[in-house]
Amino acid sequence: MTAVSRIVAVANQKGGVAKTTTVASLGTALAELGRKVLLVDLDAQSCLTFSLGLDPELVELSVHDVLLGRVGAAMAIQPTEDGVDLLPATIELAGTEAQLLSRPGREYVLRTALEEVSSAYDVILLDCSPSLGVLTLNALTAADDVIIPLQCEMLSHRGVGQLLDTVHDVQRILNPSLRVLGVLPTMYDGRTNHAQAVLADVSGRYGLDVLQPPIPKSIRFAEAPAAGRSVLSTARRTRGAEAYRELAAGLFG
């Protein structure tokens, strides 16, 4: 185990691009490789929390309490059946940004909170909310790297430039060492020229690497959250599960 964990934010202000699926699946794939993994749910909709088998309405301590300094991160972390630990979210997170706005150094709150537990993990994955607000700024400030999931449709990449502008501001002011690992094609259908054209356009327009392999479109991803597990547990040998395993080995192997 490394002395200092690698923190990766999974961010895109556009919803429905498989951020949560990527965090849950990539985290589980890393756990299969023997890594100690912490997932952090930074979305008030609590989809990651629900997807990993916790009822957000029954969570007593959450990332909301941690960010407001009520408890340390270690007190709120919970284990999951997929072999990863989770810092869960509840609907209370919807009010966290407003409460942080008046705080000096508000962009550093998450980084400071994670310092308490980071040495216990090899990788920490941050599931960002679909916005460019204070919580996403906190994630980018705390992270070493950022992955941008991208649904392979032409209108889906319109927000990438805005996200990259935010990343560049964070690099300039808050976190000079932040790296963009690249865009991750999700819900990908390689049989269509359209999907291939979208990836070529994003790569050329923004100079971003396209992470491999692309994650194929599959109903199995939609079915997994109902079981409270990742797709690597519910549909182990599907192309989607294998794609996340290959991605994990390529990025962290």
Question: Contact at 8 Å (CB) between 79 and 36?
Answer: no
Q: Which helix (H) or strand (E) holds 25?
A: helix 19-32
Distance CA 141, CA 151 (A): 25
pLDDT surpasses 60 at 1: no
Residues 7-61 have pLDDT tens digits of: 999 999 988 889 999 999 999 999 999 999 999 999 999 999 999 999 999 999 9
Q: pTM for the whole thing? A: 0.95
Which amino acid is residue 220, in one-letter code? R
- Give the pLDDT confidence score for residue 3 in this predicted structure: 47
Query: Closest Cα to residue 32, out of 214, 244, 206, 251?
Result: 244
Name the one residue in this structure whose structure tokens are 């509840």: 90
Cis peptide before 56 (omega within 30 of 0): no
Q: How far is CA 213 from the centre of its chain?
A: 17
Strand partners, 39: 86, 125
At 200, the pLDDT band (50, 70, 90 cuts) reads confident
Closest by Cα among 108, 117, 110, 114 to 93:
110
- Do 183 and 210 contact (CB within 8 A), yes or no? yes
Cα distance from N-terminal residue to C-terminal residue, the chain: 13
Domains in the chain, CATH or no CATH each = 6-248 (3.40.50.300)
Q: Where are the alpha helices (DSSP H) in 40-116?
A: 47-51, 63-67, 73-76, 96-100, 109-115
Q: How many CA atoms lie within 13 A of 80 on its CB side?
A: 32
pLDDT tens digits along 46-99: 999 999 999 999 999 999 999 999 999 999 999 999 999 999 999 999 999 999
The four Cα atoms 53, 36, 143, 95 give a dihedral, to 10 degrees, of 30
For the chain, give the mean pLDDT.
Answer: 92
2 pLDDT above the threshold of 50: no
> Would the pLDDT of 191 be above 80?
no
With cut-offs at 50, 70 and 90, classify the pLDDT of residue 127.
very high
